Every structure is written in structure tokens, then in C-alpha cells.
């Protein structure tokens, strides 16, 4: 699933893309029209992708992308028919290309399209509080309840029987049926991604969305950032307590239980039936298996296999943790 | 003190209660009218209680409840005149019974009874900002100050000389005199309690309230959940810093000082004069004594006796912690 | 830089200051007019300062203040021409004196001066959402964007090209150009400072401000408290992620990157180019050097020299931490 919301300003000629980025066109690429940016596995013909770590060489070897931004040392892993664009900093250049296709994904200023819900025609289907604001291109299912001062900016889809709390802000998000988002949340904001630069950091575009599966609940004061190139996903029947932070690109499975003040650094994957105690932290780019239990306050910095119980900072097998203490 | 707010839909005949829960009525209980649900120590004649752990056998042996939901192995601890209802999952069945008496305690959708405060007759007593919303059955003392966009939903009592911050949401709460609730808090929301179920979790009703003693202060962005069967209590002259999470059923004593981002997992009791450093976490169902000092970042997973200083994860005696490091 | 915002109710005669605090005037100080309160290094002639720890004796020896509140044992470090006022509790008495000069710095009730921005004349310069409230003495640069329900209370200066998120509250703050404050923040509230007292804690006045340098970003749901006697400072091009708490008097340098849920206890100084992982905590009154890297979840309780990498609780050299685990 891709973000259906941001306007794609492409296609662009590959020659123009390289020129606008001040990249040398040593292979003399010319008129190929590029329709979209995409990750290695999702990219199709006439799309441009990127490849920046040997870790992904197996996926890279099967990419269908016509162009790939990569480093010279990685070129050999890509298929012959994939045209290489060699650069020094893959993510930086890819960020610029993404911004060219999706310029509206960088700026998260408030949505000027919102109207008071009482001026719109949702009235028969939902119950709503005072001062509720709704943007363009918002779809709401039947029997929804939307709290006071809630702001649902443009590009949001909410299923049936959902409850949105007061003072909650949602944008660039798809929510399935029977989901409760409690008070004071911010869902769908761009993630904390940028290229540090001593004068002025360069922001990474976030073209992903937040997706929340049916029957789930998000506690008060939680923040869930949308993805950069992929999506941030909360599975079905997964319950998050208050003051939780889910950074960009995390994928959380079904039937998970996550206690208060837990934080996810970004781009990690959680299996199903994972239970996490309060204030635990999950580092970035990890794979947490199914049926894993993580003790409160743990700092997880390594992958965790299925059916494990861990605790500690850094987290280790629970029995080992208790024995050491 | 019990929640004076939720409407009790009882009394119900015991026979009907069992039938509506699909429980077998093997003892052939019939026409006894049950007035209320209650915990073991508070329950009176013609009320129903529950007993699910040997830990509470001494309290159980003195309960005045007419009926008790329990497990077969625990029945022997209950008084003769207390009629037993044997079930496999005590909390699950008790949750259903509680929901029958207090159906409005499960759903925390926004309060439809609120009106803009300028339409109500508090004007002579208090100062208020823009867009302040007040629900039914709200009592406000003299000389209160209520910030912009604050939402005080139905069933709230606030004493005199209190200050409620902007963007703060309060429901099901009693606040004594001279209390400051700073900006962006959510007070009185249902706690994070439910029975995990692979298709759709079953929510636990929260019939408790939040009680905040006089002269106390709650920092910006904090969340205090109301209790499930008992109340969540903040004592007198107790100061909480910003971004603190107090889960359901915690009882915090008087004159406590709790620094930023501390989290309480639920159902723990703190004595008086307790000082807790920033980001510490207090696990559930613990007893923390009087005059205890807990270092910043600590993870407390055991009871702490009076007058102790602890630090670490898991927390230990401070001298031991410093020696080991 | 001092807080330009709070009204100074001075000058006061030194005799009257001592009388109003019930302090004995054993040196028989009389008619000297005191213009202001100030810290040891900033205080000028005809101002009053305080000195409460030997640590600051070198600064104390050069103070230009005419009066200094201090303890008897510290008097010898002060210059001859600085008149001493000996007390038992320096901070407590100084707090009372500060309150006399700046009575409006104690109370953080909502700002009654705010008006809906549509009634003011910012319209040509900025874009704004629904229900935006602006207080007296607010300056906004060109090309700013102010989100829905944002509250900019009196005494705020915002530069050009800034974006203020929806539901964000700002007071007593100066913000330079090109700064983004995301949704749901509370910036400029008084810090968590008071003198514990068993009946009713005594609040410490906060006459400092929050200062945010150009090109910086503050993530959703963050809280930044203003300083007590000095200011709370966020440097240039420094990016804070979501749910961060910066307590009073912290000074954070330029080009820092601070991940989600990090907390600063107060009065610490960070150099430039500091990177801090998620959920780390920085204790109070520390000096963190330039180019320091602090691992996620760390608890920092000691000064850190330039160019160090640390991790752990309490944090230690990263190599040592990894070796021990």
C-alpha cells in the first residue's frame, strides 16, 4: 500500500531529474520518463528506486525499477536492465528526488482546507463535539464519534464505529473500523527525518501514511508519525496506552498490548501478540518476533526471536536478567 | 469514597445477572436483589463482590457482601453467609457484571452535554478563557481560573481558587481547593484495562474517579486515568511535573514531589513525602512507604519500606547502587 | 539577555525589602534604592543578587551588585563594596525578593489579553488557522504559519518564516527566524520550582524566558519551561523530536539532534553538535561538551567532556558499556 494522498508531480525526464539535482549525467541518460519513486521491492518499470546497504542486496537483485540511485560499490548487485545512478550520499539524493515528485510531503503546516464540520454534510452519520474541523478529502464511516476541538486534516479515511478523542489531530492516515483514538493525540505528522547540516538541516520528505487496523485503540497524548518511503502501521486489535511515541516506518503487528510511555525509534517491525511494559524503548531497524514479551523500562537494541521474554537495558533474556540482579 | 457520578442501573435479581452472563446457576440462586458491585472490603449486604487471589483471603474472610464471584479453590476463605458464584475467570465475569450496573463507564466518547461556559451562570465566580466547554453536573468553587479551550466534561467537582490550564480535559474527577492543573492535561479518562482477546479485546469498565487533594499541582501534558473499581488519588500538596502518566487505581500520598516524565503502571500506593526523580517508572500493585526517595530513571518493581532511598533498574538501595557502579 | 516581558515593580528601598520579608536589618540598611534582582555575574550597581554555594565563589568575588543575599560562611568571598544580607535559606529569601519585583512571574493562569487573530492586524503577513488566539505584546515576522487552536499568549516574539503547530501554546518566549514548533507543544510555562513545605509548597518565581534559535524544530507534544533567574535556551539549527521535556534553565547548543521522549531535569548546559538517543535523561546542573553522543535510554548524571560517546544508566563511556554487557 502506498500513500494515496500526496500529489505526484511526475513524470519527469531522467535528464531533468539529474540536472535539477546538480548530478553529473556521465551515462548520458536522456528522455526516459520516470513516473514515481519507490522502494526496491515495490518499484516497477519506469520508476526510480534507491539501494544504500549490502543488507538489501538480495532484494536489490530482483528490483524491477528502471533506475536506481546507489553507490558505486553496490552497483554489481543490481540487475543488468536497471540503470545505475552513482552518488556519494544515496539517501540525500533520494530525498531530493522524492521532494521533486512530492513537494507537499515536506511541509507540515496546518491544513488551510479545513471547515467546521457543521458546514459539511457528515451530520447524519456521525456525532461530533464543538469546534470540530475537517479538511478536504476526508472520509468518515457510519456511527463515528468525534470529540471537541478535534482536527481531521485533509487526506484521512476513518472507518465505521470509530471514536476520535477531543483535541486530537489526524492527517495522512487510514483508520479501519472500530478504532478508538483517545484525547490529545497527534497522528500522521511527518517523522523526525533530516540530513544534518551545520547551517540548516535538510528535511527528508515523508510520503508514507499511518495505517491503523480495526478494533485498535491509541491512548491519550500519543504521537504516531507517518512513514518516509513506506508506511507506519498499527495492526488489528492492538492497544496502545497513554503517551506513546511511534516514530516513522514502524510496523506493529496484531493483538499487541503496549503500556504507557513506550517509545519506538523508527523502522522496526513487531510481530503479533507482542506485550510491552511501560516506558520501554525499541531502537530503530529491529525485528521483534511474534508472542514476544518485553519488560517495562527495557531498552531493546537487538532483534528478538519469536516467543521470547526479555527485560533490561540493554534487554536480555528475562531469566538471565533476573539471575544477574 | 465511591464514584458518585455514574448512574447505577441496578438493582438486579441475582438470577437475571447470572442469566445475562451465560453463567450456570447451579446453586439455583433466585430472587435476591443486588444493589451494587463493590470491592471485598467496601461491599455491604445485598451487594456483589469478587475475590481472585489468596493474597486477599484475610479481607475476604470478613466481607459483608451477599454474593461473591470467585474460584472454587478460594471459596473456603469466604464467610458462610456469603454466597459463592464459582467461575473460571473472576475478573472477566466481574467486568461483565460491573458493565451491567454501570454501562456508561465503558465508553469514553466525548461529552455531548457540554455548553460554552458563557451560556452558563458561573460568570460571577470564575475567570475563563475563550472556547471553554462545561458539561452537566459540574461544580466550580469561587475564584477559579479556567484556560482557553479547556473542556470540563460532566461529573466534575472543582474547589475554590483552582487554576485549570488551557487545552486541558477533565472528566469524572473531584478536585479540592487551591489546585493547579497546567496546560494540555487529560484527567479522568478510563484506564488501560481490558481482557485480551484475539479478535477483539474486551474492555474493563472504569467506575472509579480521580481525586486530587488541596494545594496540589499537575504539570503540563500529564495524564491521570480514573480507577477501575477503586479511585485514583493524588494527595494534598503533592506536585507533579510535566508529562507524567498516572494509570488507574494509583494512590499517591501527601507532600510528594514527582519530576518530569515519571510513569505509574497502576494500582500502586505511595506514602507521604515521597520524592521521585525524572523518568522513573513505578510498576503495578506496589506499596511505596513514607519519606521514600527514588532516583531519576529508576525502575521500581518491588515494595519500598519507609524512609528508603533507592535508585537503579531494577531499583535497589541507593548506597548499593552507587557502590556497584 | 534578560526577560524583557515581566513588569518590574521596583525600585524598592532596601529597608522596605527587608521589612516586607520579616528579615532583621542588623546592619541598619536604609534608603538605598534597589532597581532589580539579578544573578551574580549579570548584576549591576543598585541591584540585588544572591550567592548560595562555594562553587560560585570566583564569580561572586567579581560581582558588581550593591547587595547580596548569602550565608554568613560565604560572606568572605564577596567584594568589600557589596553589602551582605545574611540569611539561613538563600534561595527561599531570594525567591521572595524576586516575587516582590516581579509578582506576575509566579502565577501562570491563562492570558486574559488574548483576542482572536482575525480581530488583529497580522492578516497581511501570516497564514493562520481557525480559533487562533494572540495576546498583548506579540510580534510576528513575515511569512509565518500559525495552526488551528494555537494560543500565543502575551509577551512572545516570533521571527519570519516560522510555523507554529495546531493546539500549541506559547508564552514568555523569543523565537528566531525559520523555526518550526509542531503540534500540541507548551512553550514558556513556569518551571517546576518551589520550596517544599508540609502544608503548602512555596512557588519559585520564574522571570526567565525561553529562547529558540533560528532554523530549529520542536517536535509534537514537547514542553519547554522558561527559566527561573536565567533563560532556557535552544540553540540554532537544533532539532527536537516528539514528547521531549526541557525543564527550566537548560541551555542547549547549536546543531543538536535530540530524539523522542528525552528529558532534561534543569539547569544543564549542552554544547554544539550533541546527539541524544530516544528516552535518555539528563540530570540537573550538568555540563555536556561539544560533539557528544549520548545513547538512547541513557541516564546522564555526570558532566561529559567534548567529543565523548556515552551510554548506560548511569551513562559511561560507550566502549566500556558495550564491553560490560
- In the three-class reduction of DSSP (H, G, I as helix; E, B as strand; rest coil), residue A279 is classed as coil
Q: What pLDDT does B218 receive?
A: 98
Query: What is the biggest distance separating any 2 CA atoms in chain A, rounded to whole angstroms?
Result: 65
Answer whether CATH 2.160.10.10 is correct for domain C115-324: yes
Q: How many CB atoms lie within 10 A of CB A113?
A: 14
At residue A123 the predicted structure's pLDDT band, cuts being 50, 70 and 90, is low
B113 touches chain A (CB under 8 A): no
pLDDT at B2 over 60: no
- Positions of A annotated as catalytic residues are 248
pLDDT at A217 over 90: yes
Decide if B151 and A149 are in contact by the 8 Å CB cutoff.
yes
Task: Give A 260-289 residues with CB within 8 A of chain B.
Answer: 260-261, 273, 277-279
Which candidate from B148, B183, B261 shows the least CB-CB separation from C245? Answer: B261
Chain C contact probe: residue of B165, B166, B176 with most C CBs at under 10 A: B166
The residue that leads in pLDDT, C253 or B31, is C253
Q: What pLDDT does B324 receive?
A: 77
pLDDT at B39 over 80: yes
List the single residue in B with minimal CA-CA distance to A255.
Answer: B198
CA distances from B273 to A7, B76, C198 (A): 57, 40, 8
Residue A260 · residue A279 · CB < 8 Å: yes
Q: Report the distance separating Cα C161 and Cα B15, nearest Å.
A: 69
Q: Report the distance separating Cα A308 and Cα A292, nearest Å.
A: 5
Q: How many CB pairs under 8 A join B and C?
A: 122
Residue with cell 470540530: A132
Q: Report the distance separating Cα B241 and Cα B238, nearest Å.
A: 10
Q: Report the distance separating Cα A53 and Cα A71, nearest Å.
A: 9
At residue B124 the predicted structure's pLDDT band, cuts being 50, 70 and 90, is low
pLDDT digits (tens, 9 = 90+) for C226-271: 999 889 999 999 999 999 999 999 999 999 999 999 999 999 999 9
pLDDT digits (tens, 9 = 90+) for C33-60: 999 999 899 899 999 999 999 989 999 9
Q: How far is B278 from chain C (nearest CA, A)?
A: 7
B237 chain-C contacts, CB cut-off 8 A: 197-201
Decide if A183 and B199 are in contact by the 8 Å CB cutoff.
no
Chain C contact probe: residue of A224, A313, A324, A325 with most C CBs at under 10 A: A313
At residue B1 the predicted structure's pLDDT band, cuts being 50, 70 and 90, is very low
Which candidate from A108, A245, A314 shows the least CB-CB separation from C325? Answer: A314
Decide if A183 and B184 are in contact by the 8 Å CB cutoff.
no
CATH code for C12-105? 3.40.1390.10
A216 touches chain B (CB under 8 A): no
pLDDT at B123 over 70: no
- In the three-class reduction of DSSP (H, G, I as helix; E, B as strand; rest coil), residue B279 is classed as coil
ipTM for the complex shown: 0.94
- Chains touching C by CB (3 or more pairs below 8 Å): A, B
Residue with cell 503533592: B238
Please tell me what DSSP assigns to residue A93.
H
Which candidate from A133, A223, A265 shows the least CB-CB separation from C259? Answer: A265
List the single residue in A with minimal CA-CA distance to C297.
Answer: A299
Q: How many CB atoms lie within 10 A of CB B154?
A: 16
Length reported for chain A: 325
Q: Report the distance separating Cα C318 and Cα A50, nearest Å.
A: 32
C168 touches chain B (CB under 8 A): no
Cβ-based burial of B221 (10 A; exposed 0-12, middle 13-18, buried ≥19) = buried
Chain A contact probe: residue of C161, C261, C320, C321 with most A CBs at under 10 A: C261
Work out the average pLDDT over A170-193. 97
Cβ-based burial of B22 (10 A; exposed 0-12, middle 13-18, buried ≥19) = exposed
List the single residue in A with minimal CA-CA distance to C146.
Answer: A110
C194 touches chain B (CB under 8 A): yes
pLDDT digits (tens, 9 = 90+) for B235-293: 999 999 999 999 999 999 999 999 999 999 999 999 999 999 999 999 999 999 999 99
Mean pLDDT of chain C: 94
Decide if C112 and B130 are in contact by the 8 Å CB cutoff.
no
The residue that leads in pLDDT, B26 or B48, is B48
Phi, psi of C18 (to 5 degrees): -65, -40
All CATH 2.160.10.10 domain ranges of chain A, comma separated, are 115-324
Decide if B148 and C167 are in contact by the 8 Å CB cutoff.
no
B92 touches chain A (CB under 8 A): no
- In the three-class reduction of DSSP (H, G, I as helix; E, B as strand; rest coil), residue A292 is classed as coil
Q: What pLDDT does A303 receive?
A: 97
Residue C170 · residue C205 · CB < 8 Å: no
pLDDT at A16 over 90: yes
List the single residue in B with minimal CA-CA distance to A164.
Answer: B109
Which candidate from A145, A239, A242 shows the least CB-CB separation from B201? Answer: A239
User: Distance from CA of residue C262 to its chain's centroid?
Assistant: 17
Q: How far is B170 from chain C (nearest CA, A)?
A: 17
Task: Give A 143-162 residues with CB within 8 A of chain C.
Answer: 149, 151
Q: What pLDDT does C123 receive?
A: 61
Q: What pLDDT does B316 receive?
A: 93
Residues sharing a CB contact under 8 Å with residue A97, sequence separation 6 or more, in sequence order? A17, A21, A37, A48, A69
At residue A1 the predicted structure's pLDDT band, cuts being 50, 70 and 90, is very low
Task: Give this prediction's pTM.
Answer: 0.95
Which candidate from A131, A169, A279 shows the least CB-CB separation from C131? Answer: A131
Work out the average pLDDT over A261-277. 97
Q: Report the distance separating Cα B281 and Cα B296, nearest Å.
A: 9
Q: Report the distance separating Cα C215 and Cα C324, nearest Å.
A: 39
B123 touches chain C (CB under 8 A): no
Q: What pLDDT does C124 receive?
A: 67
- Positions of B annotated as catalytic residues are 248
pLDDT digits (tens, 9 = 90+) for A35-56: 999 989 989 999 999 999 998 9
Decide if A281 and C297 are in contact by the 8 Å CB cutoff.
yes
Q: What pLDDT does C203 receive?
A: 87
Q: Report the distance separating Cα A280 and Cα A300, nearest Å.
A: 8
List the single residue in C with minimal CA-CA distance to B325.
Answer: C314
All CATH 3.40.1390.10 domain ranges of chain A, comma separated, are 12-105
Decide if B148 and C223 are in contact by the 8 Å CB cutoff.
no
Q: How far is B1 from chain C (nearest CA, A)?
A: 23
Chain A contact probe: residue of B134, B192, B294 with most A CBs at under 10 A: B192
List the single residue in C with minimal CA-CA distance to A200.
Answer: C237
Decide if C242 and A192 are in contact by the 8 Å CB cutoff.
yes
Chain C contact probe: residue of B123, B164, B254, B296 with most C CBs at under 10 A: B296
Q: Report the distance separating Cα C206 and Cα C171, nearest Å.
A: 12
User: Which residues of chain C carry a pLDDT beneath 50?
Assistant: 1
Q: What pLDDT does C1 receive?
A: 45
Amino acid at each position: 500500500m502506498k500513500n494515496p494522498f500526496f500529489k505526484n508531480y511526475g513524470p519527469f525526464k531522467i535528464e531533468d531529474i539529474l540536472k535539477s539535482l546538480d548530478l553529473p549525467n556521465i551515462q548520458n541518460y536522456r528522455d526516459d520518463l520516470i513516473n514515481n519513486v519507490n522502494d526496491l521491492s515495490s518499484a516497477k518499470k519506469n520508476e526510480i528506486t534507491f539501494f544504500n546497504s549490502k543488507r538489501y542486496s538480495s532484494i536489490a537483485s530482483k528490483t524491477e525499477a528502471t533506475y536506481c540511485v546507489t553507490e558505486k560499490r553496490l552497483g554489481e548487485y543490481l540487475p543488468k536492465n536497471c540503470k545505475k545512478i552513482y552518488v556519494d550520499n544515496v539517501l540525500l539524493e533520494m530525498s531530493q528526488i522524492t521532494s521533486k515528485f512530492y513537494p507537499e510531503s515536506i511541509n507540515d503546516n496546518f491544513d488551510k482546507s479545513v471547515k467546521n464540520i457543521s458546514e459539511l454534510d457528515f451530520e447524519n452519520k456521525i456525532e461530533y463535539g464543538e469546534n470540530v474541523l475537517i479538511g478536504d478529502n476526508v472520509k468518515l464511516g457510519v456511527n463515528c464519534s468525534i470529540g471537541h476541538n478535534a482536527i481531521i486534516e485533509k487526506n484521512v479515511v476513518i472507518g465505521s464505529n470509530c471514536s476520535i478523542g477531543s483535541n486530537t489531530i489526524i492527517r495522512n492516515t487510514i483508520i479501519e473500523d472500530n478504532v478508538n483514538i483517545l484525547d490529545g493525540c497527534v497522528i500522521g505528522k511527518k517523522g523526525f527525518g533530516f540530513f544534518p547540516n551545520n547551517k540548516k538541516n535538510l528535511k527528508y520528505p515523508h510520503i508514507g501514511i499511518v495505517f491503523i487496523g480495526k478494533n485498535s485503540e491509541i491512548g491519550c497524548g500519543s504521537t504516531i508519525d507517518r512513514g518516509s518511503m513506506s508506511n507506519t502501521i498499527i495492526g488489528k486489535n492492538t492497544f496502545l496506552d497513554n503517551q506513546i511515541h511511534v516514530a516513522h516506518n514502524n510496523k506493529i503487528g496484531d493483538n499487541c498490548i503496549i503500556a504507557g510511555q513506550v517509545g519506538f525509534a523508527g523502522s522496526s517491525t513487531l510481530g503479533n501478540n507482542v506485550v510491552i511494559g511501560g516506558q520501554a524503548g525499541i531502537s530503530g531497524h529491529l525485528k521483534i518476533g511474534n508472542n514476544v514479551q518485553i519488560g517495562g523500562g527495557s531498552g531493546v537494541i537487538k532483534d528478538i526471536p519469536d516467543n521470547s521474554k526479555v527485560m533490561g537495558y540493554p534487554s536480555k533474556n528475562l531469566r538471565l536478567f533476573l539471575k544477574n540482579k
